[in-house]
Amino acid sequence: MDTFVQQLINGLTIGAIYALIALGYTMVYGILRLINFAHGDIYMVGAFVGYFLAFQLGFAAGPSLLGLTVVLIGSMIAAALVGMAIERFAYRPIRKYPRMTTLITAIGVSLLIENLFVAKLGAAPRAFPQLLREQSYTLFGNAAISKSQILIFAVSVLLMVLLQWVIFKTKVGTAMRAVSFNLNSAKLMGINTDFIISFTFALGSALAAAAGVLTAQYNPQIDPLMGIITGLKAFVAAVLGGIGNIPGAVLGGLLIGLAETFVVGYGQNVGVPTTFRDAVAFAILILVLLFRPTGLLGSTVQEKV
């Protein structure tokens, strides 16, 4: 029972990270029908911006709440700018082109960011400075929750509530929903679609950067290729929940996180080696897509002639 609660906590921690990244995938897909493969790299960029901010501003010396807040918000703003730049220079010129072209461009952007960071900073992992005094609290007997896990839950819930508010209660959010419903009609209704798309990229990138800094607190090792597999799993989470669907992304993220942790924790009892942790996300995805091709919460689109 104790280990079960422990696994649950760990799974939800990773799941919350996946959910934050998945939100960016799902929002961009909802609006542009584009798989933004560079999104996982934005998560990495966020972690690295946080790393350099912490050192440049002197927060790396010791844990402080101010340092954490500044680093978190700073990296979110920087990543939002990077996301907007990517949209402006790589995706906007090809928006009307065939699907395959936009996809290859997205892969190209992803490769560009990864290789630029590897060439500039080297591929070796770096230790992220501790901005939070690590401490564990026991609950339910032996299960423990660390401060960084609480931080991940708190910040991700806060950001998700904030996102929900932006999308459903503000004018920009209404415009975002209109654009995702039909881009051309939205344009006819006087919505500045270019601005809305740019804003969506900024929002998604900021969430990914937050995930990057939060992960770096939980597991303080960052490297330029950390975004590849995490990004891919977050994307799987988005598809699992029903891509384009915001609650779906969160649900998918949490499910993938839990499944992964349980495979590592209990898989050996049923003959599944721990190395299958990366495969389980895909296995779930395939099973779900075969029975519900639009994901768990996605709505079916009727194909018309």
Partner 1 sequence: MPTLVKRLLAALVIVLLLIVMNQFMSKEGLFGIGVPSYFARLIVLAGINIILAVSLNLITGVTGQFSIGHAGFMAVGAYSSAYLTVYYAGGWEHSLATLVGASFAHVLIFLLAILVGSIVAALAGLIVGIPSLRLRGDYLAIVTLGFAEIIRIVILNIDKVGGATGFTVPGYANFLWVYAFAIITIVVVYNIVHSDIGRALVSIREDELAAEAMGINTTRYKVLAFVISSALAGMAGVLAAHYLSFLSTNDFQFIRSFEIIIMIVLGGMGSLTGAVLGAIIITFLPELLRTLGPKLESLLGLIIGANNIPASVHNFLNQLANYRLVIFAALLILIMLTRPQGILGTREFSLSWLKRAQRRPEGDKPVGESGVSIAEQGPPSAIDRTKEMENR
The site for partner 1 (CB under 8 A) is made up of 29, 33, 35, 90, 93-94, 97-101, 103-105, 107-109, 111-112, 115-116, 118-119, 182-184, 228, 232, 235-236, 239, 243, 273, 275-276, 278-279, 281-283, 285-286, 289-290, 293, 301, 303-305
What Cα–Cα distance (Å) separates residue 280 from each residue in 96, 251, 254, 259? 35, 16, 13, 7
Helical segments of 122-245, H only: 147-169, 171-181, 183-188, 193-218, 226-241
DSSP 135: -
Whose Cβ is closer to partner 1: residue 65's or residue 107's?
107
Whose Cβ is closer to partner 1: residue 131's or residue 259's?
259
CA proximity to 37, closest of 46, 49, 28:
28
Least separation, in Å, of the C-beta of 70 and partner 1? 30
Say how far apart CA 220 and CA 213 lie, in whole Å: 9
Least separation, in Å, of the C-beta of 104 and partner 1? 5
Least separation, in Å, of the C-beta of 89 and partner 1? 9
The values of phi and psi at residue 253, to 5°, are -60, -50
- In this structure, the number of other CB atoms found within 10 A of the CB of residue 185 comes to 11
Residues 6+ apart with CB under 8 A from 149: 9, 10, 13, 218
Say how far apart CA 205 and CA 184 lie, in whole Å: 24
Say how far apart CA 288 and CA 290 lie, in whole Å: 5
Least separation, in Å, of the C-beta of 243 and partner 1? 8
Least separation, in Å, of the C-beta of 226 and partner 1? 15
Least separation, in Å, of the C-beta of 298 and partner 1? 10
Whose Cβ is closer to partner 1: residue 1's or residue 303's?
303
Whose Cβ is closer to partner 1: residue 99's or residue 133's?
99
Whose Cβ is closer to partner 1: residue 119's or residue 162's?
119
Whose Cβ is closer to partner 1: residue 190's or residue 271's?
271
